[in-house]
């Protein structure tokens, strides 16, 4: 019989609701197992196996994975009583393990060998028969490091019929209790003080919605969740003091039009909320034209909810989708599964397979969303839509008269706005019934005009047309776009009263069909614009160029007139990538060269850029990353920046990196130097120090090396200043080598050539503390980011003179 002394000693059972320590007789036909999702000092999953009258326990930091290639760290903890397998609730914060506990999975387990021998040898092989975890699994003990007290194991899925290929599929799919169906927030709400008064917070204002970018296929790789694309009206639900408001996608108050949804929305128990969803017919199916008829007839409606922007007065838009989804599930806990408000189901696994299944079932398509991305107004690459049916919105520019009795027109003449100019997109002449025609003519007559609204020459098919001011938006299916950018076999689907004409662009659809693969961006010709550079994120070469055009002014504040090392990936990140620092043939004029003397005394031509055309010229040559010297070409031997690259060992959390950045900042401040942080889009953080150009490379390098060495010697268990991998185990490497002559560092606002297409972004020190990862900024975040001052400009430059060196010496002796 095992002991529960350690379990008992850690808890005050007069305070904690956890079960008391009671041993039970070993035996029984089946041995139970349980997994509890535990939001303590950090979120983890407690994996427990019944043996010898107790629950053997491991804390699995990232949760179990059905992918056999994922070896999940499982830290052995104290044995728990078997009765703990039924515990779900909240442990007071001041108690050991304080936080919310969810019963995430349970069932029974089947040892494949003697489990007692397996524990001794450090190898447990077993089958799980749970609601969520099934099939063969293994726990393997890791070799203990010198002085290490905790017992580290690895939880690994065996290769069998229950194995998967997506690392986080299991934990992303199942976010509620296996027994009560509650989300973490609902469980935490059992605390008497935690339940807010119903709608006691101010009514949230309308927020512009996030829109998906059209792609031919769903993104590949991990980090995405997939949802069915609905063919309905976007709906933003606001509730709080003052009642309920339901808005269309462009902010029109459609509370009357969606009136059937007001009562169920008002019943949601919260202080306030702003929820994003899509309204479809009450039957849960049908296309857009069916929905329009249902609205006119007053038929029942259904709103599928897929995102939440505000909850109980808290703005959630900056949090990752995974956390917003959990909050939405908590709010919807207890709602009838077939009611008028429903959660949009999440489809796990391979996006291509999910799209194929939806299309086969006659669905609209798929929307794929990055689970680590914030909610951003406007079109974004973190939401990708893939359609089964080719369907788009168009602006009505006119109509052709009909010679048939009772038919007011034979076809509508369509266009779309591209860069503010109305472009002819062809005609649609089928799909109308009598009511449709009457409704359209009533809307078109007040918009009549004598001249075409197009600036281009029009084809003969428009001869005799009646023209209108382009304000009316319709939706149409089509077979394809021709090489001229016009639709073939158009079928009318309905009016889009929720969309503004100026917002209607068909360029993405036309480009995908016509094969038009060249575009001028920022005055630079970019070829192969539709080539996918980031397969997982769906980002194309053209969109890479558009990113650098967008950030050029801000990026050039730091990157202009510096020698560069470019990371070029001509075939995208899935192909071969290589660094290039010396100028070569073939680069556009904006990429210039400067001769610089190298270590061996020879001179070589290095590349640099001075304006946006240089960044775009490099992008045309397949450049994804820009790495910059610490000095500018006019004073190449006088650095104007110093960089400390904080690079964590594998397995270290981002919290350790943030703490290291703060210590570097404090140490630099003690030496009289200002600094600003930048999340690199990779694993770490750069602490950047602006310098007055008075010192040579050797002085700057010596200062950086001394500073990093002192900090590492002061905290040898946390930091190292040595590049050797053997000395970096469990530590953050304070990389000072970026400050040598010829060394480079990633430029602010540069993309990273890694899955996810993250961007290196300077942040404020306050922002850094709130970030959960160093690669959370993406192309779609840049428009909002550029509206704010660059944090690098807030740090004051100072030279490394005698006073700074003396301050370094004083600090090193503290």
Same domain, 437 and 464: yes
Same domain, 139 and 76: yes
Low-confidence ranges of the chain (pLDDT < 70): 1, 25-29, 173, 190-197, 282-299, 479-480, 483, 506-517, 585
Write down the pTM of the prediction: 0.44
**Which one of 134, 158, 188 terminates a domain?**
188
Same domain, 444 and 328: no
Q: Would you say 359 and 228 are in contact if contact means Cβ atoms under 8 Å apart?
A: no
Same domain, 45 and 148: yes
pLDDT digits 0-9 by tens, 42-80: 899 999 999 989 999 999 999 999 989 999 999 999 999
Do the strands 378-387 and 210-214 form a parallel or antiparallel pair, or are they unpaired? parallel
Q: What are the residue numbers of the active site?
A: 229
Same domain, 173 and 200: no
Same domain, 380 and 411: no
**Would you say residue 148 lies in a domain?**
yes
Q: Which pLDDT belongs to residue 293?
A: 66
**Would you say residue 526 lies in a domain?**
no
CATH number, residue 247 = 3.30.470.30
State residue 562 phi and psi, 5-degree precision. Answer: -115, 140
Q: Which pLDDT belongs to residue 667?
A: 95
Same domain, 379 and 395: no
Same domain, 347 and 371: yes
Same domain, 253 and 371: yes
Same domain, 154 and 228: no
**Would you say residue 780 lies in a domain?**
yes
Same domain, 30 and 85: yes
SS3 annotation, 46-97? EEEEEECCEEEEEEECCCCCCCCCCCEEEEEEEEEEHHHHHCCEEECCCCCC
**Would you say residue 224 lies in a domain?**
yes
Q: Which pLDDT belongs to residue 479?
A: 67
- For the residues of 587-635, what is the DSSP string, one character each? --TTEEEEEEE-TTS-EEEEEEE-SHHHHHHHHHTTEEEEEE-SS-GGG
**Would you say residue 523 lies in a domain?**
no
**Would you say residue 519 lies in a domain?**
no
- For the residues of 319-353, what is the DSSP string, one character each? S-HHHHHHHHHHHHTTS-TTSSEEEPPEEPS-HHH
Beta strands in 92-145 (DSSP E): 99-111, 123-130, 134-141
CATH number, residue 708 = 3.90.920.10
**Would you say residue 308 lies in a domain?**
yes
Same domain, 657 and 773: yes
Q: Which pLDDT belongs to residue 285?
A: 53
Name the domain count of the chain. 5
**Which one of 628, 663, 688 terminates a domain?**
628
CATH number, residue 477 = 2.40.50.140
**Which one of 628, 655, 675 terminates a domain?**
628
Q: Would you say 628 and 559 are in contact if contact means Cβ atoms under 8 Å apart?
A: yes
**Would you say residue 633 lies in a domain?**
no
Q: Which residues, in sequence order, are CB contacts of 717 under 8 Å at separation 6+? A: 730, 731
Show the domain range for 704.
641-743+754-813
């Amino acid at each position: 019989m095992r002991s529960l002394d350690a379990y008992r000693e850690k808890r005050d059972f007069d305070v904690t609701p956890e079960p008391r320590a009671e041993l039970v007789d070993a035996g029984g036909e089946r041995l139970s197992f349980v997994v509890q999702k535990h939001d303590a000092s950090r979120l983890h999953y407690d994996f427990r196996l019944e043996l010898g009258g107790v629950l053997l326990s491991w804390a699995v930091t990232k949760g179990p994975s059905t992918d056999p290639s994922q070896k999940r760290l499982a830290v052995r903890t104290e044995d728990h009583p078997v009765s703990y397998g039924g515990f779900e609730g909240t442990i007071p914060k001041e108690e050991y393990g304080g936080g919310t506990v969810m019963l995430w999975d349970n069932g029974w387990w089947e040892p494949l060998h003697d489990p007692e021998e397996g524990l001794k040898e450090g190898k447990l092989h077993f089958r799980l028969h749970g609601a969520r975890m099934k099939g063969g699994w293994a726990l393997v003990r890791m070799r203990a490091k010198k002085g290490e007290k905790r017992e580290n194991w690895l939880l690994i899925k065996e290769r069998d019929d229950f194995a998967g290929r997506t690392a986080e599929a299991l934990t992303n799919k199942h976010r509620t209790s296996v027994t009560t169906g509650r989300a973490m927030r609902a469980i935490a709400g059992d605390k008497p003080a935690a339940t807010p008064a119903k709608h006691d917070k101010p009514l949230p204002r309308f927020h512009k919605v996030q829109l998906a970018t059209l792609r031919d296929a769903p993104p590949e790789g991990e980090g995405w969740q997939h949802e069915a694309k609905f063919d309905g009206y976007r709906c933003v639900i606001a509730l709080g003091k003052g009642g309920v408001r339901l808005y269309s996608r462009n902010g029109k108050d459609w509370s009357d039009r969606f009136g059937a949804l007001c009562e169920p929305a008002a019943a949601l128990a919260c202080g306030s909320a702003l929820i994003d969803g899509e309204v479809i017919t009450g039957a849960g199916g049908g296309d857009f034209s069916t929905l329009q008829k249902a609205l006119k007839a007053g038929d029942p409606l259904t709103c599928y909810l897929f995102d939440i922007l505000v909850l109980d007065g808290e703005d959630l838009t900056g949090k990752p989708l995974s956390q917003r989804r959990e909050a939405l599930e908590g709010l919807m806990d207890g709602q009838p599964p077939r009611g008028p408000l429903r959660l949009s189901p999440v489809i796990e696994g391979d996006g291509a397979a999910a799209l194929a299944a939806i299309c086969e079932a006659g669905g609209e398509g798929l929307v794929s969303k990055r689970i680590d991305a914030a909610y951003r107004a406007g079109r974004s690459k973190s939401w990708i839509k893939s359609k089964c049916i080719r369907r788009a919105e168009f602006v009505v520019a006119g109509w052709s008269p009909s010679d048939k009795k009772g038919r007011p027109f034979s076809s509508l003449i369509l266009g779309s706005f591209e860069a503010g100019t109305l472009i002819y997109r062809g005609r649609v002449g089928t799909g109308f019934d009598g009511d449709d025609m009457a409704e359209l003519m009533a809307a078109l007559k007040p918009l009549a005009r004598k001249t075409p609204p197009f600036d281009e020459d029009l084809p003969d098919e428009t001869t005799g047309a009646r023209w209108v001011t382009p304000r009316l938006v319709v939706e149409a299916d089509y077979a394809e776009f021709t090489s001229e950018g016009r639709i073939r076999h158009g079928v009318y689907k309905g009016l889009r009263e929720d969309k503004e004409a100026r917002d209607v662009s068909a360029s993405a659809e036309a480009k995908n069909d016509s094969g038009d693969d060249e575009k001028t961006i920022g005055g630079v010709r970019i070829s192969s614009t539709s080539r996918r550079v980031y397969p997982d994120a769906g980002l194309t070469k053209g969109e890479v160029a558009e990113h650098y055009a967008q950030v050029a002014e801000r990026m050039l504040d730091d990157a202009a007139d510096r020698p560069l090392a470019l990371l070029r990936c001509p075939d995208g990140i899935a192909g071969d990538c290589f660094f290039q620092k010396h100028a070569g043939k073939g680069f556009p004029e904006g990429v210039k060269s400067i001769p610089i003397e190298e270590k061996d005394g020879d001179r070589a031509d290095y590349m640099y850029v001075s304006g946006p055309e240089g960044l775009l010229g490099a992008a045309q040559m397949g450049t994804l990353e820009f790495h910059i010297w610490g000095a500018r070409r006019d004073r190449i031997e006088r650095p104007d920046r110093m960089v400390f690259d904080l690079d964590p060992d594998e397995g270290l959390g981002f919290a350790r990196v943030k703490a290291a950045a703060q210590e570097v900042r404090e140490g630099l401040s003690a030496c009289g130097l200002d600094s600003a942080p930048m999340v690199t889009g990779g694993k770490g953080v750069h602490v950047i120090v602006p310098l007055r150009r008075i010192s040579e490379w050797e002085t700057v390098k010596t200062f950086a090396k001394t500073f990093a060495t002192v900090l590492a010697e002061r905290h040898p268990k946390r930091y190292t200043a040595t590049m050797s991998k053997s000395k970096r185990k469990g530590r953050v490497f304070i990389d000072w080598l970026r400050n040598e002559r010829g060394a480079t560092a990633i430029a602010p606002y540069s993309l990273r050539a890694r899955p996810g297409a993250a961007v290196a972004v300077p942040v404020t020190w306050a922002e850094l503390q709130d970030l959960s990862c160093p690669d959370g900024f993406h192309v779609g975040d840049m428009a909002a980011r550029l509206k704010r001052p660059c944090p690098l400009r807030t740090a004051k430059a100072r030279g490394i003179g005698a006073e700074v060196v003396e301050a370094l010496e004083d600090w090193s002796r503290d």
